[in-house]
Chains A and B, each alone.
Chain A
Amino acid sequence: MIVKANRTCLVIAGLVLAILFVASLGVGADQATLADLWQGSGGIDLLAISRLPRTLAAILTGAGLAIAGLIMQAIARNRFVEPATAGTAQSAELGILLVTVAWPAASLGFKTLVASAAALLGTGIFLMTAHRLPPTQPFLVPLFGLVYGGVLGAAATFIAWQADLLQYLAIWSNGDFSGVLRGRYELLWIGAGLVAGAWLVADRLTIMALGREASIGLGIDYERMLQIGLVIIAVISAVTVVVIGIVPFVGLVVPNLVSRLMGDNMRATLPVVALSGAILVLACDILGRLIRFPYEIPVGTVMGVTGAVLFLLMLFRRPAHG
């Protein structure tokens, strides 16, 4: 029964994503409709160089961020945290900013590496703190995360100001797909790899969400899993920040919505979470392209509004079960 319902969810999500995928290929500032793309040869170029990479980037970003959020919630054992609002993304931003100041000529790969390391450190600090906050007050953890992220962001702003890099900072701190072209987004595939990796250890992640004692009782190397989880979160966030910029709330609302529908067995939910994340981000990007056509509104801004509304609804609507 349950397996069947889960499969239905998966199929529906897949269908929706397919529709959005086609739609995304057809929408853009340069007036090329799908029909044009089909016929003219110039259209194929546009498709291959700009539209397809952009669409793929949105899908990869959404899936990656949603999974990062899912894992972070499992590790922090708190439903209201996610990398983009709890300091991970801001740490990555700080890292890439510092490396840009210190060594402007560094390659993108190296910058991503530094950003990942910074994200790892920042997330580690957050989680250490989160585990020490009293479990009786679940809202303190996300609050702490939000302000912690804000403080890191303020530090980044200060440094950027001093180094005259505010424009770059604006790019990193507000996610935007309009600059995505072939050859400039491929780093995001790392995220896809990590999502696949997460799926391999899904059962262990589910058990981790039950806590340290339960994990050890079931014979799981808790510390090792913690490290794996942290690396997945940090790398996905860092890659996203470097290529796209911060996209808030995806990792927060998607896992929660899916959990309400399907529960918390990650073996079953993980693919749906990834697909739904992709759907949300792609939909917001398409929306951003359409609201003020032919101008574009960055996906970070659209997501700030959509995500905040969804999150508030989530906060005040009691969970369906329990």
Chain B
Amino acid sequence: MIDRRLIILTLLAAVCAIAFLTLGLRGNLGFVLTLRATKLAALIEVGIAIAVSTVVFQTVTANRILTPSIMGIDALYLFAQILLVLILGGLAYATLDASLKFAIGIAALMILSCVLILPMLRGRLDMGLMLLAGVVLGVLFRSLHSLIARILDPNDFAVVQGMSYVNFNDVNTGLLALASLMTLCALVLVWRARHILDVVALGRDAAIGLGIDWTKTQVGCLLLVSVLVAVSTALVGPAAFLGLLFVALAERVVQSRRHALLIPAAALIAVIVLVGGQTLFQHALGNSSTLGVVIEFAGGIVFLILLWRGSRR
């Protein structure tokens, strides 16, 4: 039995996708369509990666106002790239194959997030302290990234600017195939673990009581999150609050925290917002490059509201 709300969301997502593909077609049809289809695929993939990684991350950290990016995981990806630059030297880095860079980045990110984030989760630090440290860590890595970019190439400000906010307009399509593969694998794993995630959401003691291997599950989830974050960061750049927006909306729609519902709902909403928003901005507002900023803005507001409400209780 498939939930009715999911069906509606799926239909909406399909409508958005079709509109994105077909509205205002002109010129060389085959060429334009291929171009748009590639971009559509990338958007869908980024949306899914952001939404799913946020759901899983919120579940393992037992906190509903977190996204991996707020905790600085996407900045870790940047940091991994910096490390690569430092190890290889600027020139070698610039000439390295993009897919290879991506793969090394992901591997480094997985290791780094286990090394840095796990102790924080383990130590059961005060949640506020953890969040704050995460945010500052994010600032640090971003500053470090721009510092090193400037040191390597003092004249090229574009590098630094390009990385500082999410941009859905020039998606890095070269990595699409590899990224799709990774997202798909991660998705299958998450979907198979959906019931386990439900139990993890009950908290550590309850989950162990119900027979979950806590450490293994936590590490596994973090690794999955790392992969998904790396995918979205590599494709469109850092997106701190997007995931929050998607998941908060999804929770509203399905009225449940059950992962079998929440994961597809969040992913579908992500697709609707991104693809629909992109279509809208392109055709109605004539300016699609600001979509990322607008959604980030909305996500930031959602964060503030959640923080505010959460602290009231």
Q: Using Cβ atoms and an 8 Å threshold, which residues of chain B touch A133?
A: 308, 311
Chain B at the A interface: mostly helix, strand, loop or mixed?
helix
How far, in Å, is A64 (CB) from chain B's closest CB?
A: 22
- A305 near B128 with CB under 8 A, answer no
Q: Using Cβ atoms and an 8 Å threshold, which residues of chain A touch B150?
A: 292, 295, 297, 301
How far, in Å, is A225 (CB) from chain B's closest CB?
A: 26
Q: Which residue of A lies closest to B139 (CB)?
A: A308
Other-chain residue from A143, A161, A248, A292 in contact with B307 (beta carbon distance below 8 A): A143
Q: How many residues of B are counted as interface, with CB atoms below 8 angstroms from the partner's CB atoms?
A: 39
Tell me the bound Cα distance from A34 to B230 in angstroms: 49
How far, in Å, is A43 (CB) from chain B's closest CB?
A: 26
- A142 near B132 with CB under 8 A, answer yes
Q: Using Cβ atoms and an 8 Å threshold, which residues of chain A touch B70?
A: 147
Given known pairs A147-B307, A161-B289, A161-B290, the reply for A304 and B300 (CB within 8 Å) is no
How far, in Å, is B163 (CB) from chain A's closest CB?
A: 13
Selected interface stretch from A107-115, A228-236, A255-263, A309-317: A309-317
Given known pairs A297-B151, A304-B143, the reply for A151 and B300 (CB within 8 Å) is yes
B146 an interface residue at 8 Å Cβ cutoff? yes
Other-chain residue from A80, A147, A316 in contact with B300 (beta carbon distance below 8 A): A147
Tell me the bound Cα distance from A302 to B300 in angstroms: 26
Given known pairs A154-B296, A158-B290, A297-B151, the reply for A147 and B140 (CB within 8 Å) is no
User: Scoring A residues 134 to 168 as 1 if CB is less than 8 Å from chain B, else 0, what string do you get?
Assistant: 10011110111011101100110110011000000
Q: Using Cβ atoms and an 8 Å threshold, which residues of chain B touch A155?
A: 297
B304 an interface residue at 8 Å Cβ cutoff? yes
Q: Using Cβ atoms and an 8 Å threshold, which residues of chain B touch A49?
A: none
A8 an interface residue at 8 Å Cβ cutoff? no
Given known pairs A144-B304, A150-B300, A312-B137, the reply for A295 and B154 (CB within 8 Å) is yes
Q: Which residue of A lies closest to B130 (CB)?
A: A139
Q: Using Cβ atoms and an 8 Å threshold, which residues of chain B touch A138?
A: 128
- B131 near A139 with CB under 8 A, answer yes
- B151 near A140 with CB under 8 A, answer no
Q: Using Cβ atoms and an 8 Å threshold, which residues of chain B touch A295?
A: 150, 154-155
- B293 near A304 with CB under 8 A, answer no
- B132 near A304 with CB under 8 A, answer no
B253 an interface residue at 8 Å Cβ cutoff? no
Q: Using Cβ atoms and an 8 Å threshold, which residues of chain B touch A137?
A: 126, 128, 311
Tell me the bound Cα distance from A295 to B296 in angstroms: 33
Other-chain residue from A292, A308, A309 in contact with B151 (beta carbon distance below 8 A): A292
Tell me the bound Cα distance from A138 to B240 in angstroms: 23
Q: Using Cβ atoms and an 8 Å threshold, which residues of chain B touch A201?
A: none
Other-chain residue from B287, B289, B297 in contact with A154 (beta carbon distance below 8 A): B297
Q: Using Cβ atoms and an 8 Å threshold, which residues of chain A touch B289?
A: 161
- B147 near A143 with CB under 8 A, answer no
B107 an interface residue at 8 Å Cβ cutoff? no
Tell me the bound Cα distance from A147 to B308 in angstroms: 12
Q: Using Cβ atoms and an 8 Å threshold, which residues of chain B touch A291?
A: 151
- A304 near B147 with CB under 8 A, answer yes
Q: Which residue of A lies closest to B133 (CB)?
A: A315
How far, in Å, is A168 (CB) from chain B's closest CB?
A: 13
Q: Using Cβ atoms and an 8 Å threshold, which residues of chain A touch B136?
A: 308, 311-312, 315
B196 an interface residue at 8 Å Cβ cutoff? no
How far, in Å, is A309 (CB) from chain B's closest CB?
A: 6
Q: Which of A160-188 contact B (CB under 8 A)?
A: 161-162, 170
Other-chain residue from A144, A170, A305, A311 in contact with B147 (beta carbon distance below 8 A): A305
Tell me the bound Cα distance from A134 to B310 in angstroms: 11
- B240 near A150 with CB under 8 A, answer yes
- A146 near B128 with CB under 8 A, answer no
How far, in Å, is B232 (CB) from chain A's closest CB?
A: 18
Q: Which residue of B lies closest to A291 (CB)?
A: B151
Q: Using Cβ atoms and an 8 Å threshold, which residues of chain A touch B129?
A: 139, 315
A265 an interface residue at 8 Å Cβ cutoff? no
- A151 near B297 with CB under 8 A, answer yes
Q: Using Cβ atoms and an 8 Å threshold, which residues of chain A touch B300?
A: 147, 150-151, 154
* A151-B304, A305-B144 given; 18 more Cβ-contact pairs under 8 Å: A137-B311, A139-B131, A142-B132, A144-B307, A144-B308, A146-B135, A148-B304, A157-B293, A162-B287, A170-B157, A292-B151, A292-B154, A295-B150, A297-B154, A304-B147, A305-B143, A312-B136, A315-B132
Residues on B lying within 8 angstroms of A by beta carbon are: 70, 126, 128-129, 131-133, 135-137, 139-140, 142-144, 146-147, 150-151, 154-155, 157, 161, 165, 240, 287, 289-290, 293-294, 296-297, 300-301, 303-304, 307-308, 311
19 chain-A/chain-B pairs, Cβ below 8 angstroms: A134-B311, A139-B129, A143-B131, A146-B135, A147-B135, A147-B303, A151-B304, A157-B165, A158-B290, A158-B293, A161-B293, A170-B157, A292-B150, A295-B150, A297-B150, A301-B147, A304-B143, A308-B136, A312-B136
Closest 5 CB pairs of A and B: A139-B128, A304-B143, A308-B140, A295-B154, A151-B300
